[in-house]
Amino acid sequence: MVEIPEHLRKRAEEARAKAEAAKGGSSKGEEKETETGADTSSENPVSSGDEKIPSHLLDRGVPASKQPPVGEPSNVSPSQSGPQAGQGPDGHNQRLLTVVKAGSIQDVKTTPTDKVHVWPHLLIAEFLSALAITLFTTLFSIVVNAPLLELADFNRTPNPSKAPWYFLGLQELLTMFHPMVAGVTIPGMGIFLLIMAPFIDKNPSNKPEHRKFAISLMTVHLMFWAVLVMIGSFFRGPGFNFVFPWEGGLFFEL
């Protein structure tokens, strides 16, 4: 049941007071009061007696169990032209907004995200990867014989003398360019481009199709270094000369 607004109650009390005062007055005062009531009724129809409360507001205060059925006429007189019970001034069912909760009439759907929790999604994948790598390393060590070499002898330098595999790319560059260019300029430019990549490509997206510059730069860097390492590992023979492994043999040791 909707309560009648406070300002309408005050107006009703004032109307009652004026009506009681007008009953003891002269007939002239009664005529004036009647004219005033007529002017007011054209804007706000009265519900009963001299109360200046619109009838539709009074009907809204009546419980639904006591209201007449929809098909039957109500007890409102034909002279009262106000809206039907349960409706606002323009016929809108404003009463529903006070009964139905706001959350129940809103269709709120959560926005899907591409984020997952570390546990269990990430940690399970990492654990399975660690198990797979451990199993592969164990089987590889059983099948492949990889004995340790003898102690280094400075009077007997192996030929070819190769750096560890992670430095073979730099050693390969030294065979092609001046040491200043191969050891400082080219690696320095590569490192500088990798440092500047986040400032050049400021796209916050983590999708590959939105990060073409960053992915292209990292791919070129890895492929450039991987090609140099493969050439130094499998295509360099005695004297660090270029040879084909199927002709001169494989000069590579882990």
Name the average pLDDT for the chain. Answer: 75
Q: Span 149-153, mean pLDDT?
A: 81
Cβ(244)–Cβ(235) below 8 Å: yes
The topology (CATH level 3) of 149-248 is Helix Hairpins (1.10.287)
Chain position carrying tokens 């430019």: 189
pLDDT of residue 124: 93
Q: How many CB atoms lie within 10 A of CB 57?
A: 19
Give 49's pLDDT tier (boundaries 50, 70, 90).
very low
Cross-strand bridge partners of residue 236: 242
Q: Where in the chain is the domain with CATH 1.10.287?
A: 149-248
Return the closest-CA partner of residue 190 out of 180, 202, 182, 178: 182
DSSP 8-state symbol, 242: B
How far separated are the first and last CA of the chain, in Å rounded? 87
Cα separation of 234 and 222, whole Å? 18
Q: Span 14-32, mean pLDDT?
A: 70
Q: Span 77-106, mean pLDDT?
A: 53
Answering whether pTM is above 0.85, one says no
Percent of the chain with pLDDT over 90: 17
Alpha-carbon dihedral sign for residues 142, 145, 146, 151: positive
Give 192's pLDDT tier (boundaries 50, 70, 90).
very high
